[in-house]
Structure 1
């Protein structure tokens, strides 16, 4: 699975400048000095790495976002968010070339001194915790269904292995914790190389299964846990909505922001790119965001056209109701679960590093601090995954706060503070609009989400 922009931050310390083709780049700094390096990553390899950083658990929530905004409304919002994501990356790359800084946190420090660096560190930490929570939530909801799908149909629904919370605790203690507690887990990065193919397979399954579930949806459907009742299902529900405005629409943009956030991975990938120029890296960004956009759009459209108003906020759960033992659904579920399981420790590493840097500064490595930070972060993430009732809440809150800041607000503010361009220049005006858009949409979305919680309670 994608780590949604939370690439191992050790890459920052490994970035060094080599032979820089073109005149539009400035050597990147490594511990205050410029060093040479071996031949970097190819264009295709960089595109693949960035796609892995972009695509993640957000793909499971986009069909729900489409049901909440309508097809046309969703497409407009997806185009706007993906375009602004590419533009904010353009601003970061521009600052990277102007300053030679290769870390998102250090850009915050350059723009706003120590408070800026702390704000970026906290935002990345919260974003990582939100991403890990969303992945563990997927494990909690999908693992019992995956086990049930391989068992006999006379399952009572009361077995211990059908309790998602218990399974989540066991998997966290037996798999996630041992992998997360390692001081260096760079080898897990190799497992992400198959993430794109998992996502591609996911999109193919969603498209194929569109024609396997009838519409209108059956009123009574026998599932593994009994009979599932759907009320008010009619032919009118098989007509896709072009525009929808409701309180649920507030989850759309945060979910999209969560899905396109890859900004903390941009500078490390830029450092490793062969013949790294700003225009070459921008092309890598545009291709990666374009391919991710297509997979996101295809999955959302066909997921929505399968379930319409009854689409689940975690898309795969909807298929359990109508085809609980379908081979393709079972295999795509296993693929995603495997990706999720191996990605959580990878996301945990930069989160732990951010905590240690924020609380203990530049202290030498200590196993005691390392273990305490690991257990503390995993404990918070596990509690969130267990007690959060709906994955859309994770997407909504994290997307409207830290994702909006990292995607829109911070790049714009940093550009306005650091760049020597005139305030009337195109990029300065664009940076200002980016900040305004991020603040307005984040505040509106978060406010509506909170109001919805209060009303529902």
Structure 2
């Protein structure tokens, strides 16, 4: 019993020492790490370096951290997973979703393990420790490109749902088009997106603290669950009524071009699980406990990825079963027709509207990270962004409207996913974590770690080159 008590005391002392190191490290590192999201707690530490004014701060529980990280993951990527299964066939598609989740979990765990020896409290700080300031700048550029592309996808989905979309030989009706009984000036795509940007997205992005979005984030995750549950329910009803055709089990490969087309699903899978830039900020809120925060965060990451993989499995499987070979790149567009079930119109309207609102509420979360990294690159020595109202307003407005104009130039979400996911996405999710393990500055990598890092980097690079080459040759 004495040995057990001594071990518990050692763990507690280690946790307290680790948390003190994290806090003291933020004082010198916070200003130069724009990947740290500006929560009230972090602002107090970075700018006042004192705990005297922490009365309004509430530490995050493990369950809260799981919820926040899950909200970061479940965004627009889920909409393209049914199309991914259509490309690969049902068994291989489900295996690919599971494999992507496992690889993502390994890369995130590597970031957390290597953050502890160097006291890195952000992804950028970890890259700076391994590769210097050049590494930090490259990472920030990748975050900017990835988030910018993802936010363009968000607006495209909003436009598809509200105003409809036109595919090869088909037209999917939007929610507003159905309400109006046809096309009018106020349900045209550009007008709807501009109005949504000005009235909803810009005000949400103008909030300076991410704490202010906690209730909208909670609502957005619930709406994502509503989408998954309704999709499973509709498909289950049609399966029971024997109205579902037998799905294709193998990839549709009939020539060389169709074979290389299979690799275009890689960026979709990478984007679906990408949350690496928000792992450290969430871990920082788990401090002041008897267990080191990085150890708690490892458990959070595992629980979160199990939850998200389950949602992805259900959505991808049941949506593909429901629509089969007619599955669109953005599966929400398929919910514009009569599905042949009771209350079909009400359910399909609820599915589309709920997920459109979900996307609107997730949009400002991704915008926070984008804005901080843009500010960190343009004004590295300026005062904190939250204290400069003019700079904050100009950067926020410029980015929001630049994303809006970008969405009018990209034809569909598959194209956006392919180019951002195949380039910066694979770098952030797999190549950079693998390079950090290979650099092994703390000298803690095992032989297995080295092999995993090489496999991660080589597979990511080969997939990226293949996808880019395929897109260029077929465009």
- Shorter-normalised TM-score: what interval? 0.7 to 0.9
1:111 and 1:212 mapped to 2: Cα distance? Answer: 53
Counterpart in the other structure of 1:102: 121
1:401 corresponds, among 415, 419, 423, to: 423
Secondary structure of the residue aligned to 1:31 is: helix
Counterpart in the other structure of 1:427: 449
Counterpart in the other structure of 1:12: none
In the TM superposition, residue 248 of structure 1 has moved relative to its aligned partner by: 4.0
Say if 1:85 and 1:407, in contact at 8 Å, map to a contact too: yes
Higher share in helix: 2
Aligned residues: 414
Write the mapping of 1:51-450 to structure 2, written as runs, cut at 5 A. Answer: 51-144=70-163, 145-151=174-180, 155=181, 157-184=182-209, 186-210=211-235, 238-245=246-253, 246=258, 247-273=260-286, 274=289, 275-323=291-339, 326-364=345-383, 365=385, 366-421=388-443, 425-450=447-472
**C-alpha root-mean-square deviation of aligned residues, in Å?**
2.9
2:395 and 2:325 mapped to 1: Cα distance? Answer: 42
In the alignment, structure 2 segments of 5+ residues that lack a partner are: 1-11, 30-48, 164-173
Write the mapping of 1:15-30 to structure 2, written as runs, cut at 5 A. Answer: 21=15, 27-28=21-22, 29-30=25-26
1:32 corresponds, among 28, 34, 41, to: 28
Secondary structure of the residue aligned to 2:249 is: coil
Q: Give the TM-score, by structure 2 length.
A: 0.80
1:52 and 1:251 mapped to 2: Cα distance? Answer: 25
Change (3 A) 1:439 1:354: same
In the TM superposition, residue 20 of structure 1 has moved relative to its aligned partner by: 5.0
1:267-315 C-alpha deviation (Å, 9 max, x unpaired)? 1222222433444322211111011001101110111111111101111
In the TM superposition, residue 100 of structure 1 has moved relative to its aligned partner by: 0.6
Are residue 451 (structure 1) and residue 470 (structure 2) matched?
Answer: no
1:313 and 1:336 mapped to 2: Cα distance? Answer: 15
Q: Name segments (4+ residues, structure 1) moved above 6 Å.
A: 22-26, 33-39
Change (3 A) 1:185 1:54: closer
Change (3 A) 1:415 1:22: farther
Secondary structure of the residue aligned to 1:128 is: helix
In the TM superposition, residue 213 of structure 1 has moved relative to its aligned partner by: 6.5
Secondary structure of the residue aligned to 1:102 is: coil
Secondary structure of the residue aligned to 1:98 is: coil
1:378-435 C-alpha deviation (Å, 9 max, x unpaired)? 2321122112111111111111112111110111112222433366622122122211
Say if 1:22 and 1:277, in contact at 8 Å, map to a contact too: no
Change (3 A) 1:42 1:411: same
1:25 and 1:401 mapped to 2: Cα distance? Answer: 35
Say if 1:189 and 1:346, in contact at 8 Å, map to a contact too: no
1:447 and 1:107 mapped to 2: Cα distance? Answer: 31
Say if 1:20 and 1:27, in contact at 8 Å, map to a contact too: no
In the TM superposition, residue 452 of structure 1 has moved relative to its aligned partner by: 2.2
Change (3 A) 1:368 1:196: closer
In the alignment, structure 1 segments of 5+ residues that lack a partner are: 1-17, 219-234
1:119 and 1:370 mapped to 2: Cα distance? Answer: 23
Say if 2:220 and 2:357, in contact at 8 Å, map to a contact too: no
